[in-house]
Amino acid sequence: MNVNRHRVLFLSSWYPNRLNPTDGNFNEKFAEAAAIYNEVVAMHVVADPDASAPFEADNFTKAGVKTHILYFRKSNGKVGKLINGFLYVKYYLKSFRQLKKEWGKPDIIHLNVVFPSGAIALLFKWLFGLKYVISEHWTGYLPDNQIQESKLVRALRRIVARNAEVIMPVTHNLKEAMVRKGLKNHYRVIPNVVDVKYFFPLKENKKTEKKTILHVSHLNDEHKNVSGILRVIRKLSALRNDFTLKIVGDGDLSPHIEYASKLKIDNDWVSFYGTMSTQEIARTMQNADLFVLFSNYENLPCVIIEAFAAGLPVISTDVGGIKEHLTPDKGVLIAPLDEPALLNAINKLLDSSDAYNSEQLHKYAAENFSYETIGNSFTQIYTTVITRQKLV
In a domain, residue 119? The reply is yes
CATH number at 173 reads 3.40.50.2000
In a domain, residue 226? The reply is yes
pLDDT band at 392 (very low <50, low <70, confident <90, very high): low
Is residue 77 domain-shared with residue 116, that is, in the same domain? yes
Angstrom distance (rounded) from CA 213 to CA 288: 6
Q: How do beta strands 108-112 and 132-136 pair?
A: parallel
**pTM across the whole model:** 0.94
Measured in degrees and rounded to the nearest 5, phi and psi for residue 220 equal -65, 115
In a domain, residue 261? The reply is yes
Is residue 217 domain-shared with residue 299, that is, in the same domain? yes
Three-class secondary structure of residue 42 per DSSP: strand
pLDDT band at 20 (very low <50, low <70, confident <90, very high): very high
Summarised one tens digit per residue, pLDDT across range 261-309 is 999 998 889 999 999 999 999 999 999 999 999 999 999 999 999 999 9
Summarised one tens digit per residue, pLDDT across range 71-124 is 999 998 888 889 999 999 999 999 999 999 999 999 999 999 999 999 999 999
Is residue 259 domain-shared with residue 337, that is, in the same domain? yes
Is residue 112 domain-shared with residue 219, that is, in the same domain? no
Is residue 340 domain-shared with residue 308, that is, in the same domain? yes
Q: Please name the residues in contact with 149: beta carbons below 8 A apart, sequence gap of 6 or more.
A: 140, 157
Q: Is the pLDDT of residue 2 over 60?
A: no
Measured in degrees and rounded to the nearest 5, phi and psi for residue 129 equal 70, 25
| Identity of residue 190 | I
- According to DSSP, the residues that pair with 7 across neighbouring strands are 39
In a domain, residue 85? The reply is yes
Three-class secondary structure of residue 25 per DSSP: helix
In a domain, residue 198? The reply is no
In a domain, residue 259? The reply is yes
Is residue 151 domain-shared with residue 292, that is, in the same domain? no
Taking 3-state DSSP, the helix, strand and coil percentages for the chain, each rounded to the nearest 5, stand at 40, 20, 40
In a domain, residue 200? The reply is no
Is residue 91 domain-shared with residue 183, that is, in the same domain? yes
Is residue 268 domain-shared with residue 355, that is, in the same domain? yes
| Identity of residue 334 | I
| Identity of residue 112 | N
Tell me which residue range forms the domain holding 177. 7-193+370-386
Longest Cα pair distance anywhere in the chain, in angstroms? 66
Q: Is the pLDDT of residue 59 over 70?
A: yes
Q: Which of 13-27, 71-85, 199-213, 367-381 has the lowest mean pLDDT?
A: 199-213
Is residue 273 domain-shared with residue 152, that is, in the same domain? no
Measured in degrees and rounded to the nearest 5, phi and psi for residue 156 equal -65, -40
Is residue 260 domain-shared with residue 173, that is, in the same domain? no
Summarised one tens digit per residue, pLDDT across range 156-186 is 999 999 999 999 999 999 999 999 999 999 9
Number of domains in the chain: 2
